[in-house]
Amino acid sequence: MIPQNHLLVLSLVLLTIGVVGVLVRRNVIIILMSIELILNAANLNFVAFSRQWQNLTGQIWGVFNITIAAAEVAVGLAIVIALFRNRETVNVDEMNLMKW
């Protein structure tokens, strides 16, 4: 039986890694990967509490979470391709089109 706290700590560590990745990397594709890490951390929490309360609802929302992640990554990567076609870069520091 894995203690609940261990799962929460693993989830927290993965979330922190994801946040660091979003904040410090320049490559949009790696930023999207970091967002995937954050979503996985959330999912781990859902499953952990689902097990703790012997309630399947957490796992159902985990399935929805994975679906949302797939949709997000499809649209995000399409945007990356469109941006690359226009600007020849995947570097977030050079994407200031919507800045004022």
Partner 1 sequence: MNWGLAVFYFFAALATVGGVMTITRKNAVHSAVYLVLTFVAIAAIYVLLGADFLFAVQVLVYAGGILVLFLFVIMLVNLEEPRRFSGGRMRLAASGAMTLLLFGILATTFARSTSVTAVAASPAAEGNLQAVGAMLYTQYILPFEVVSVLLLVAMIGAIVLGRPRA
Site for partner 1 in 71-100 (CB under 8 A): 71-75, 77-82, 84-85, 89-93
Q: Write down the least CB distance from residue 18 to partner 1, Å.
A: 7
Residues contacting partner 1: total by CB under 8 A: 72
* 50 vs 36: CA distance, rounded Å: 21
* 68 vs 16: CA distance, rounded Å: 21
* 88 vs 22: CA distance, rounded Å: 21
* Touching partner 1, residues 18-37 (CB under 8 A): 18-21, 23-27, 29-30, 32-34, 36-37
